[in-house]
Amino acid sequence: MDALLLQLTALVYLAAGILAGAARVLSHGWLSRAAVVALGAGALLQGLKFSLLHTADSPPPLTDGPTAVSFMAWIGTVAFLALLWRFRLVGLVALVAPLSFIGVFYAALSPAAVAEAEVGAGSLPHAHVLLASAGLALLGISGMAGAAFLAEYSRLKRKRHLVGSPAWPSLEALDRVNALALALGFPLLTLGVVTGALWVRSLHGAPWTGSAHETWCLLAWLVYAVLVTLRFGLGQGARRSAQTALAGFAFAGFAVVGVELLL
């Protein structure tokens, strides 16, 4: 049932991405509305999938990579949908839906998670994964808004036509989304790092073991601490903030996923 729901969610996200892409090419308003509805339906299905985990006799852990990525995709999608109406982000569904699809598809293809007993340490692993994933999802939205800002900035500076519809959000809206996602994502990431340290301490007796994952995650947190200071403390401009948000998320992505795969 879980696997089927996950596959169905991936399919719905894919449909949302295709509809949003078609809306951009064909400039049909109803297609972009359908894409938003499909993205919302995907988020509901994925939410249902996560809520069903707690009804299982032996709840699977969330600490494995695929589940964490899937959870991150869900939080990112839900956060995006919440911001969509406030900041008229319909134009960005074409970016978000494929990312959500990739996250869920990766989880759907991966083998089932290991038993929770092997992970241990009570609710700390769950808290760590949930908080860190939610933080990274929001920082991902910040990075995506930064990328969209840079693309729009470049188009407006080069005085090129806006191709297709719906229109991209305004530069100001993208900058606000960037700032808001950073302001919400960084505290969650901080809590994720803290709960991670507590989890490590419960397992090894010390909050720091010097593993590559810990080192890179701490570096990513430090990078974001600098970004937050630049943005909210030193009044960094919109374009620089967009660049740093994009670079910050690329670094965090490498620290969390790349290090696990490569090092």
233 belongs to the binding site for another protein (CB under 8 A):
no
Q: Which DSSP letter does residue 60 get? A: P
92 belongs to the binding site for another protein (CB under 8 A):
no
238 belongs to the binding site for another protein (CB under 8 A):
yes
Least CB distance from residue 156 to another protein, whole Å? 5
Please answer whether residues 10 and 108 qualify as being in contact, where contact means their C-beta atoms are separated by less than 8 angstroms: yes
187 belongs to the binding site for another protein (CB under 8 A):
no
- Tell me the C-alpha distance between 133 and 156, whole Å: 34
Least CB distance from residue 243 to another protein, whole Å? 11
Least CB distance from residue 88 to another protein, whole Å? 8
Footprint of another protein on 132-161 (CB under 8 A):
152, 156-157, 159, 161
> Rg (Cα) of the chain, in Å, rounded?
19
Binder among 7, 110, 170, 202 for another protein (CB under 8 A): 170
Q: Quick one: CA torsion of 182, 183, 186, 190, rounded to 10 degrees?
A: 180
Tokens 């090894």 correspond to what residue? 204
167 belongs to the binding site for another protein (CB under 8 A):
yes
205 belongs to the binding site for another protein (CB under 8 A):
no
Dig out the tokens for 165 from the structure. Answer: 């519809």
Binder among 237, 250, 260, 263 for another protein (CB under 8 A): 237
User: Comparing C-alpha atoms, which of 11, 2, 4 is closest to residue 105?
Assistant: 11
Least CB distance from residue 80 to another protein, whole Å? 17
Dig out the tokens for 248 from the structure. Answer: 């910050």
Please answer whether residues 101 and 13 qualify as being in contact, where contact means their C-beta atoms are separated by less than 8 angstroms: yes
Dig out the tokens for 250 from the structure. Answer: 């690329």
162 belongs to the binding site for another protein (CB under 8 A):
yes
Least CB distance from residue 256 to another protein, whole Å? 31
User: Comparing C-alpha atoms, which of 85, 13, 67 is closest to residue 44?
Assistant: 13
Least CB distance from residue 168 to another protein, whole Å? 7
By C-beta, is 109 or 167 nearer to another protein? Answer: 167
- Tell me the C-alpha distance between 195 and 28, whole Å: 46
234 belongs to the binding site for another protein (CB under 8 A):
no
Binder among 239, 243, 257, 258 for another protein (CB under 8 A): 239
φ, ψ of residue 166 to 5 degrees: the values are: -70, 160
By C-beta, is 135 or 169 nearer to another protein? Answer: 169
Binding site for another protein (CB under 8 A): 87-88, 152, 156-157, 159, 161-162, 167-173, 176, 235-239
